[in-house]
Chain A
Amino acid sequence: MAPPAEVLAVRGLSKSFPGVRALDDVDLTLHPGEVHALIGENGAGKSTLIKLLTGVYRPDAGDIVFQGDKVSFATPLEAQKAGISTIYQEVNLIPLLSVARNLFLGREPRNRFGLLDSARMNREAEQALGAYGVRVDVRRPLRALGVGAQQMVALARAVASEARIVIMDEPTSSLEPREVETLFSVIRRLRDEGIAVVYVSHRLDELYAVCDTVTVLRDGRRVHHGRLADLDRLSLVSTMLGRELGEVRREGLTKFTGGHHATDSRPVLEARGLTVPHTLHEVSVSIRPGEVVGLGGLLGSGRTETAKAVSGALPTSSGSITVAGIPLRGGSTPAAIRAGISLLPEDRKSEGIVPGLSVRENISLAVLPRLSRFGLVSEARVDSIVDTFVERLRIKASSPRQKVGELSGGNQQKVLLARWLAMNPKVLLLDEPTRGIDVGAKAEVQKLVDELAADGLGVLLISSDLEELIEGSDRVVVLKDGAVVGELTGDEVTEDKLMRTIAGHSPDGDAVEEAATDG
């Protein structure tokens, strides 16, 4: 029987979790030697698809045909043995074992007594790694290597175990530029050897540098597939985000009234050149009182990290922050809070609310020392603050004593807002303030942001919801791969301009011809 043209054929794959249809009738075809980009925003279904392919999850419906046979892997190990290897962002090897042992884990060469043949193993490990430009002492423990080199070992291991398909999940997130180049040359070698690669990344440059074909997922569905060269960057971004090109909407869909007026020309927050290794490069943002500044960009572009760096939660290696003209010592959350910076974190459930404590205790958490004398809490003052904000933000709870963990997402978000408003902040950093909350609460939160800005607060708004970002912001700073690539002001604040900026076009709309691939 002639070998099938494709190495992998996925048909109608679906997977649901309670309340969520994570993957809906998705097809995917891979040919030998194909480098296939798999892209999509948060929640698009990329991880679910990968986990279905590698036996972590079982599909609800659909077939996976691998090398002509219908397969159903029970475990990742089974998938790996069959020839589908995965390299995750985090290296999943054993740090204390030697490099060579890691490379040959589970298939160590044996001598004729059935014992480990160390000499042969080390020799072969050196050869294998040498092929990827990694020259290290393979007898040293893996953890002694840099992250990039560890990534290479993981890669070499994946390939050495006779993989037919290698899935790379954001493999470059912790690599230096030089290491990225090495990785690309390895990928090209794999391609020449007829191995199919699934490449997941948010970095457009990388995609266009190595990928031949592309599948775009959105909300669990496949919304586009085909040759990557046929899809320019702008179309790619708009497909991912689900926005039509040229669609210009400035107002109407959200509760933002738009048109805030900065009351003061001096910025209340000025962040200059914030740098976090591997994450942020010289990011600068300034916000004036009464102004809502949006942070635009794709997933992984450094939006959340910028907010965390400003709020002291992420230590920076260089850069400066001033609040109302006063320099702030970086890397300290309490110092940032004292200076008047408040962060509403993206991950509300694990970094925002304290689920087992009551509404009352959550609201008063940060402001508690100010309501206390000699460490004793003044219950009356706590009650008065809590009552004020429960009323003002219309927090719906059976009583202030109800546990926050039992509230709806929208009310949890309001409790967090109340926690910060009680501190009388100067700057509010809102990271996805309306994600995962119902429509009504969303509108309320949006309206509240407007009101707060009108009261003179400086607001930094991060949102994956383009409408929200465009309509809510007076200005949008666009990030890409951890650096500022543009800023939209006034009439430029449109979805169209935003997508063009993300895609690498200059904000004024002049199409720049892309050097889509370089090899």
Chain B
Amino acid sequence: MAEAALRTAPLDKARALQWLQKYGVYAGVALLLVVNIAITPHFLSAENFRTQAVQVAPVIIVALGMALVIGTEGVDLSVGAVMALAASVTALYLGYGLVPALLVVAVFAAAVGLANGALVALVGVQPIVATLALMVGGRGVALVLLPQLQDLRNPQLASLGSGDVLGIPYLILIAAGLALLVAFVVRRTTFGRQLLAIGDSRPAAQLAGLPVRRVLILVYVICALLAAVAGVLATARLQASDPTSLGNLMELSAITAVVVGGTPLTGGRVNIAGTVAGAVLIQLLTATLIKHDLPPSWTQIAQAVVIVAAVYAARGRGKR
């Protein structure tokens, strides 16, 4: 009955809104590119695109995990803290070599993801509350492990942060590879479909015999692991481990990218291409304002406008 009512609504407006929902984020990216090419000096250069891509890569990686969590009608506030934790642990164990250090990072991140997932799936805590605990606590642990910024002079780590293949930085390759992988998982695996079903209707998924708890826990573990990857890459790029400030407000950037990219907060749908585009949109917006030396507060206001626009476009498709 509700669908019928929707169909009889003014067609033009409904169609425009639908178009905005589907393609708004890409149109936004295209618009910013066109405007910048027109008005920003030296914008149209390989160097510049490389810079924007490298800067946005960690945000994309975190947003991929966030998109999966949001697809289950959850949210993970602890991603920034996991980045800081990854930075600390990298610094502490780098003496054994890069690979062993990364393995320890993975163990820590998986532990955070398991704790988040267990609180949400087994104990039944609201995701926003469950992950808030580790948002605060995770950074605390990171600072206990490494109380202050430390420079890292490991050639392998440095090359991870600034090296490239055929002129394409590793950071971009890794982010792109992970985006394709996550998109594949969502579309083609049992896990991906179960995740969406759980996010759309948890009672139905439960009665259909899906392994709801296992899927939820796995989603939070994946999200934490992706955040850790982003933390390591950001650390590699900085060639310093900075647990005090690394990943600050990253949870908000990631959520923004996901929402702007057309993934509803109500779960049941995950738009990976849109998420990537959402992160790029915010990056370009920030870059535009910085390059034109507009006051930093404008960036925040512009981001707010984009979020409001995205939420407006998402109106009516979320709640059923």
Contact = CB atoms under 8 A, between A and B. Distances in A.
Q: Taking the complex as a whole, does A directly touch B, i.e. does some CB pair lie under 8 Å apart?
A: yes
A18 B204 CA distance: 26
Contacts of B196: 354, 356-357, 361
A351 B207 contact: yes
Contact of B206 (A19, A313, A364): A313
Contacts of A343: 207
B188 interface: yes
Interface in B195-234: 196-197, 200-201, 203-211
Given A353-B201, A354-B201, A355-B200, A368 B207 contact: no
Contacts of A368: 190, 193-194
A351 B208 CA distance: 9
A365 interface: yes
B204 A350 contact: yes
Interface stretch (A102-110, A371-379, A462-470, A473-481): A371-379
B293 interface: no
Nearest to B201: A354
Given A351-B207, A405-B320, A406-B3, A372 B200 contact: no
B268 interface: yes
Contact of A356 (B1, B191, B193, B269): B269
A334 B211 contact: yes
Contacts of A365: 193-194, 197, 205, 208, 210
A210 to B, nearest CB: 36
A313 B194 CA distance: 18
B190 A372 contact: yes
A377 B268 contact: no
Nearest to B192: A377
B189 interface: yes
B206 A366 contact: no
A411 interface: no
Contact of A372 (B3, B189, B209): B189
Contact of A361 (B1, B3, B197, B207): B197
B218 to A, nearest CB: 11
A472 interface: no
Nearest to B264: A356
Given A18-B1, A355-B320, A357-B196, A377 B201 contact: no
A355 B268 CA distance: 9
B209 A352 contact: no
A357 B268 contact: yes
Interface in B158-189: 188-189
B191, B194, B207, most chain A CB atoms within 10 A: B207
A501 interface: no
A19 B4 CA distance: 12
A345 B189 contact: no
A377 B188 contact: yes
B197, B204, B206, B210, most chain A CB atoms within 10 A: B204
B209 A366 contact: yes
A229 B1 CA distance: 43
Contacts of A379: 188
A19, A338, A376, most chain B CB atoms within 10 A: A376
A311 to B, nearest CB: 7
Contacts of A377: 188-190, 193
A311, A372, A419, most chain B CB atoms within 10 A: A372
B209 A333 contact: yes
Contacts of A376: 188-190
Interface string A184-213: 000000000000000000000000000000
A354 B189 contact: no
A313 B210 CA distance: 12
A296 to B, nearest CB: 23
Contact of A375 (B3, B190, B200, B209): B190
Interface in A336-369: 336-338, 343, 345, 350-357, 361, 364-366, 368-369
A345 B201 CA distance: 14
B38 to A, nearest CB: 40
B189 A355 contact: no
Contacts of A405: 3, 320
Contact of A345 (B3, B188, B207, B210): B207
A369 B200 contact: no
A375 B189 CA distance: 5
A356 B197 CA distance: 8
A187 to B, nearest CB: 36
A379 B197 CA distance: 17
Nearest to B203: A351
Contact of B200 (A313, A357, A364): A357
A354 B191 contact: no
A368 B268 CA distance: 17
A263 B211 CA distance: 34
Interface in A289-334: 311, 313, 333-334
B204 A351 contact: yes
A407 B11 CA distance: 21
A31 B209 CA distance: 52
Nearest to A335: B209
Nearest to A362: B197
Contacts of B1: 18-19
B197 A357 contact: yes
B193 A366 contact: no
A357 B201 CA distance: 10
Nearest to A361: B193
Contacts of B201: 350-351, 353-356
Nearest to A333: B209
A352 B320 CA distance: 14
Nearest to B189: A375
Nearest to A352: B204
Contact of A366 (B191, B208, B268): B208
A354 B197 contact: yes
A224 B269 CA distance: 50
A213 to B, nearest CB: 37
A353 B204 contact: yes
Contacts of B208: 333, 337, 354, 365-366, 419
A375 B204 contact: no
Interface string B21-61: 00000000000000000000000000000000000000000
B200 to A, nearest CB: 4
Given A334-B210, A353-B204, 10 more contacts: A313-B206, A334-B211, A350-B203, A351-B201, A351-B203, A354-B268, A356-B196, A365-B205, A366-B209, A376-B189
Nearest 3 pairs between A and B by C-beta?
A337-B209, A356-B268, A356-B200
7 contacts: A337-B209, A350-B203, A354-B196, A354-B208, A355-B201, A372-B190, A405-B320
